[in-house]
Chain A
Amino acid sequence: DTEVTQTPKHLVMGMTNKKSLKCEQHMGHRAMYWYKQKAKKPPELMFVYSYEKLSINESVPSRFSPECPNSSLLNLHLHALQPEDSALYLCASSQDAVNYGYTFGSGTRLTVV
């Protein structure tokens, strides 16, 4: 298995909702990442997990809450989002957080209404 799987592919949520994005990989990678991509912009790093511990938080607002339950799974919990948070959310993984390139999932297209 050489893929990173993200669910759901599309999500529409209201500003008072709570939802979660899920990411899964079975490549034995020990680093996982969340990126956010606005339209016509490059992906921007949000969080890095290395060996299931949060190692980088790029000053992301607390309405985004990451979780890494085990080495294969990465969640992004969403609460009280704003319309400007609408974007493509990308998950990626790599063998470790330092030395290797990343494998990306196909993303979750999030719309906040």
Chain B
Amino acid sequence: DAKTTQPTSMDCAEGRAANLPCNHSTISGNEYVYWYRQIHSQGPQYIIHGLKNNETNEMASLIITEDRKSSTLILPHATLRDTAVYYCIVKGYSTLTFGKGTMLLVSP
């Protein structure tokens, strides 16, 4: 599977949009972009995934560039409960492999 690159940490003010970037320049045509998050000492939680079109659900939006080499996860109105490690994972016909992720800290 293609590797991903994410910033180590990001800060966001409560109520503002959090935009988390991910680079995956070696992604293949059959590989999806998945986003998970992990709140301290809990299991990873699925957020959203996409292939090439932008996706939105009740939690977040996923914007994938036209060349598919990068994506952005958007939390439209961040709350304190969104403080977590966010993992961007590229997955094809294989297992889910976690990188180091981005630690998002939402502050009042």
Contacts and interface: CB of A to CB of B under 8 A. Distances in A.
A43 B42 CA distance: 11
B95 A107 contact: no
Q: Which 8 A-B residue pairings sit nearest by Cβ, starting from the closest? A: A42-B98, A104-B43, A106-B43, A104-B44, A98-B93, A43-B98, A107-B43, A105-B43
Interface of A: 4, 6, 33, 42-45, 48, 56, 88, 90, 92, 97-99, 101-107, 109
Interface of B: 34, 41-46, 49, 87, 91, 93-101
The SS class assigned to the B binding surface is loop
A104 B46 CA distance: 8
Nearest to B91: A101
Contact of A106 (B42, B91, B97, B101): B42
Given A42-B99, A98-B93, A107-B42, 15 more contacts: A42-B87, A42-B101, A43-B44, A44-B98, A48-B95, A56-B95, A88-B41, A90-B43, A97-B95, A98-B94, A103-B46, A104-B46, A106-B42, A106-B43, A107-B41
